Amino acid sequence: MTFMTKPETCVDRSQRKRIVAEINRRGGCAMCEHRDKAREFWDLAFCKSPSRTFPLCMKDKREPEFKLDHDTIGVKS
């Protein structure tokens, strides 16, 4: 495990807060790898599976599970 200094921890925390705020602002499906790219329009995105919705896909363990698409926010892991 890598230990971070206090300034690094503050930067990491602020980046995580920014990412969570962006997910909440745009909606979870817009930031997910499992979104249906053929049906994206007017800043609306939908899951490939019609029975899935954003908050539920993070809580239950069924597939497809929410997975952040790093290309949508410009952050590489």
pLDDT digits (tens, 9 = 90+) for 17-51: 988 888 888 777 778 887 877 777 766 777 777 77
The pLDDT of residue 69 is 82
Of residues 21 and 61, more confidently modeled: 21
Q: Percentage of residues in the chain with pLDDT exceeding 90?
A: 14
Residue 56 has pLDDT above 80, yes or no: no
Q: What are all long-range contacts of 62-65, with beta carbons under 8 Å and residues at least 24 apart?
A: 64/34
The pLDDT of residue 77 is 44
Average predicted confidence (pLDDT) for the chain: 78
And the tokens for 18? Answer: 């920014």
Going by C-alpha positions, the residue among 4, 16, 54, 14 that lies closest to residue 34 is 54
SS3 category, 40:
coil
